[in-house]
């Protein structure tokens, strides 16, 4: 499965993306976690130690790599000749770092797709990289994105099987979610599902269901508001490492199972032997 996680700012995208990645890795899948948010927070939710994550250079900012693969310096003027089909198949292995449970983290940085898509060397490389990633067979790919929808262009999200739209029990996050769904439809993402996060009780869940039903949409899953997620943030420990049995982590585990059942039935984990721990 190739999963992209999107939603309004602060709804819990990174918690969901990072925790899903860890859970799938524990199930035995080869997991590639892609951080497409320039704020670079996915490493934390995955449990990659700060001394490792602080040294990662996002692909979008790796000028020498961009020049090496496209033949042009980043920021080159439009019209300069550069490769639109750069070689990318070795990048995830070369620039990814291995975190707990063997999850591979690739920090991409943002693709500025704006309008028809910016024709610059950096975007050429990143688009080719995402295309390659969505075509990788047998791997679980989970991409965390920047808040909002500006980034959700063809270049970024096309080719993903499932878009998880995270919403909270409030109107603005649901409105953003509806807009994201519309955009996702335009770029042919196969499925868009809504996940309610920070849900504090039946009335919160009812509220989200009610708002979505106005658009004939349903709520796929809910994750409760969970104080241990807050405490994990204070302790700077990945939520799944802080408390695996906490309600939010348990709910994300059941989301992981539901996603497989719904969108990848018959898919079996491939990995196992070559998985390594933190490097």
Ligand X SMILES: Nc1ncnc2c1ncn2[C@@H]1O[C@H](COP(=O)(O)OP(=O)(O)OP(=O)(O)O)[C@@H](O)[C@H]1O
Q: Where do we find the tokens 């997620």?
A: 229
Write down the least CB distance from residue 10 to ligand X, Å: 4
The residue sitting closest to ligand X, measured at its beta carbon, is 14
Q: What is the 3-state secondary structure (H, E, C) of the chain?
A: CEEEEEECCCCCHHHHHHHHHHHHHHHCCCEEEEEECCCCCHHHHHCCCHHHHCCCCCHHHCHHHHHHHHCCCCCCCCCCCCCCCCCCCCHHHHHCEECHHHCEEEECCCCCCCCCCCCCHHHHHHHHHHHHHHHCCCCEEEEEECCCCCCCCHHHHCCCCEEEEEECCCHHHHHHHHHHHHHHHHCCCCEEEEEEEEECCHHHHHHHHHHHHCCCCCEEEEEECCHHHHHHHHHCCCHHHHCCCCHHHHHHHHHHHHHHHHHCCCCCCCCCCCCCCCC
Decide which of ligand X, Mg ion, none touches 12; Cβ closer than 5 to 8 Å per partner kind.
Answer: ligand X
- Between residue 144 and residue 183, which ones bind ligand X under the rule CB under 6 A? 147
Write down the least CB distance from residue 131 to ligand X, Å: 24
Query: Among the candidate windows 4-12, 91-99, 104-112, 133-141, which touches ligand X by CB under 6 A?
Result: 4-12
- Between residue 212 and residue 271, which ones bind ligand X under the rule CB under 6 A? 223, 225-226, 229-230, 233, 248
Query: Among the candidate windows 36-44, 211-219, 223-231, 245-253, which touches Mg ion by CB under 5 A?
Result: 36-44
**Residue 145 lies near Mg ion (rule: CB under 5 A):** no
Write down the least CB distance from residue 203 to ligand X, Å: 16
Query: Among the candidate windows 2-10, 23-31, 115-123, 154-162, which touches ligand X by CB under 6 A?
Result: 2-10
Report how far residue 144's alpha carbon sits from residue 21's, in angstroms, rounded to the nearest whole number. Answer: 10
Write down the least CB distance from residue 12 to Mg ion, Å: 8
- Indicate the residue among 41 and 244 with the shorter CB distance to Mg ion: 41
- Between residue 9 and residue 68, which ones bind ligand X under the rule CB under 6 A? 9-15, 37, 39, 41
Decide which of ligand X, Mg ion, none touches 138; Cβ closer than 5 to 8 Å per partner kind.
Answer: none
**Residue 14 lies near Mg ion (rule: CB under 5 A):** yes
CB 112 within 8 A of CB 75: no
Report how far residue 100's alpha carbon sits from residue 59's, in angstroms, rounded to the nearest whole number. Answer: 22
- Indicate the residue among 42 and 256 with the shorter CB distance to Mg ion: 42
Task: Say how many CA atoms lie within 13 Å of 34 toward its Cβ.
Answer: 31
Decide which of Mg ion, ligand X, none touches 136; Cβ closer than 5 to 8 Å per partner kind.
Answer: none
Query: Among the candidate windows 38-46, 148-156, 160-168, 267-275, which touches Mg ion by CB under 5 A?
Result: 38-46
Write down the least CB distance from residue 110 to ligand X, Å: 12
- Indicate the residue among 83 and 228 with the shorter CB distance to ligand X: 228
CB 2 within 8 A of CB 160: yes
- Indicate the residue among 70 and 243 with the shorter CB distance to ligand X: 243
CA 123 centroid distance within chain: 18
Rule CB under 6 A: which residues touch ligand X? 7, 9-15, 37, 39, 41, 147, 197-198, 223, 225-226, 229-230, 233, 248
């Amino acid at each position: 499965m190739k999963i992209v996680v999107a939603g309004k700012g602060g709804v819990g995208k990174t918690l969901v993306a990072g925790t899903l990645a860890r859970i799938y890795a524990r199930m035995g899948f080869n997991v590639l976690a892609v951080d497409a948010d320039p704020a670079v927070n996915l490493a934390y939710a995955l449990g990659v130690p700060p001394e490792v994550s602080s040294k990662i250079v996002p692909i979008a900012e790796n000028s020498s790599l961009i020049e090496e693969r496209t033949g042009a310096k980043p920021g080159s003027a439009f019209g300069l000749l550069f490769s639109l089909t750069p070689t990318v198949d070795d990048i995830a292995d070369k620039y990814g770092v291995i975190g707990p449970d063997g999850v591979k983290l690739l920090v991409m940085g943002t693709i500025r797709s704006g309008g028809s898509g910016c024709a610059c060397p950096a975007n050429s490389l990143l688009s080719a990289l995402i295309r390659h990633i969505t075509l990788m067979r047998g791997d679980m790919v989970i991409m965390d994105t920047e808040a909002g929808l500006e980034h959700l262009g063809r270049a970024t999200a096309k080719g993903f099987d499932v878009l998880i739209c995270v919403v909270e029990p409030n109107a603005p996050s649901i409105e953003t979610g509806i807009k994201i769904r519309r955009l996702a439809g335009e770029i042919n993402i196969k499925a868009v599902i809504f996940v309610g996060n920070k849900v504090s009780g039946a009335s919160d869940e009812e509220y989200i269901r009610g708002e979505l039903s106005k658009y004939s949409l349903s709520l796929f899953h809910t994750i409760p508001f969970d104080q241990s997620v807050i405490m994990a943030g204070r302790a700077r420990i990945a939520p799944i490492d802080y408390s695996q049995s906490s309600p939010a982590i348990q709910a994300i585990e059941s989301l992981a199972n539901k996603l497989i059942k719904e969108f990848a039935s018959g898919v079996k984990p491939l990995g196992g032997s070559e998985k390594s721990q933190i490097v």
